[in-house]
């Protein structure tokens, strides 16, 4: 598993505002959206492409286009939805699948409660969106789910990550044979006893959509 912390001043600047407890939901949503576009730029460095011949107004030339099959973007419901627009802005031809996962706040185990994905992901490059890599349980379950359907290259984009969760995720998917990359806006200090990232930004789903 490869972990890439996208430490860019614009990312750090937007993350600072996102973390602030006084940032309201509309601003939080806008910042998360902007951040994802910056992270997506980093995360798509290895997106698969194929050559294409075109003619400019001046001369024929060879360029590239996104390869088939198209990449699949998979936001993890609910908080990952807040990252979807920012991602597809950069990858407008990608297909989108949905995976609903919920974390039991006592055991911190993740379970799947909804799935709208193609049956066969053979040969597909997948981009998983989940704002917080905390204990790693949700991402591990999501990545395993996609690999079981045939995905052969997975990049997860998170706004924040915790070192313990990143290490645990690596252990939990160590047996998988597909390349997995994590792209995150920052690696925070630690997890607290409730499984929250410290300093973090609180509950990403609640801050995006309210406490429901």
> Does 131 show up as a binding residue in the annotation?
yes
Reported residue count of the chain is 212
Contact (CB, 8 A) for 97 and 78: no
The residue whose Cβ lies closest to ligand URA is: 134
Nearest CA-CA partner of 184 in 132, 145, 127: 132
> Does 153 show up as a binding residue in the annotation?
no
Catalytic annotation on 152?
no
The catalytic residue among 23, 103, 112, 144 is 103
Where helices occur in 44-148 by DSSP H, the ranges are 84-90, 137-148
> Does 16 show up as a binding residue in the annotation?
no
Catalytic annotation on 203?
yes
Q: At what angle do helices 9-19 and 25-43 cross, to 10 degrees?
A: 150
Give me the residues that bind ligand URA (CB under 6 A), please: 79, 132, 134, 195-197, 200, 203-205
CB of 33 to ligand URA, least distance (A): 17
Catalytic annotation on 56?
no
CB of 177 to ligand URA, least distance (A): 28
Closer residue to ligand URA in complex, CB, 86/195: 195
CA pair distance 152, 72, nearest whole angstrom: 11
**Joined tokens for residue 101:** 């996962």
Closer residue to ligand URA in complex, CB, 27/69: 27
Closer residue to ligand URA in complex, CB, 98/196: 196
108: cis peptide before it, omega within 30°?
A: no
Tokens 């039991």 correspond to: 104
Catalytic annotation on 107?
yes
CB of 129 to ligand URA, least distance (A): 13
Mark the binding-site residues for uracil, compressed into ranges. 197, 202-204
The catalytic residue positions are: 103, 107, 203, 206
């Amino acid at each position: 598993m490869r972990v890439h912390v996208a430490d860019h001043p614009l990312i750090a600047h937007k993350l600072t505002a996102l973390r602030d407890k006084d940032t309201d939901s509309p601003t939080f949503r806008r910042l998360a959206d902007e951040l994802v576009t910056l992270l997506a730029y980093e995360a798509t460095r290895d997106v698969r492409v194929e050559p294409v011949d075109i003619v400019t107004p001046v001369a024929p030339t060879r360029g590239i286009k996104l390869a088939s099959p198209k990449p699949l973007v998979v936001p993890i419901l609910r908080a990952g939805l807040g990252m979807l627009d920012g991602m597809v802005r950069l990858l407008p031809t990608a297909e989108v699948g949905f995976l609903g996962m919920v974390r039991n706040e006592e055991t911190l185990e993740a379970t799947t409660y909804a799935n709208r994905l193609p049956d066969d992901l053979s040969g597909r490059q997948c981009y998983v969106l989940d704002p917080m890599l905390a204990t790693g349980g949700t991402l591990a379950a999501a990545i395993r789910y996609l690999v079981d359907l045939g995905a052969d290259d997975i990049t997860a984009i998170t706004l924040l990550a915790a070192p313990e969760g990143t290490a645990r995720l690596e252990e939990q998917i160590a047996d998988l044979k597909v390349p997995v990359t994590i792209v995150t806006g920052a690696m925070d200090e630690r997890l607290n006893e409730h499984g929250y990232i410290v300093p973090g930004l609180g509950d990403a789903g609640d801050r995006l959509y309210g406490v429901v």
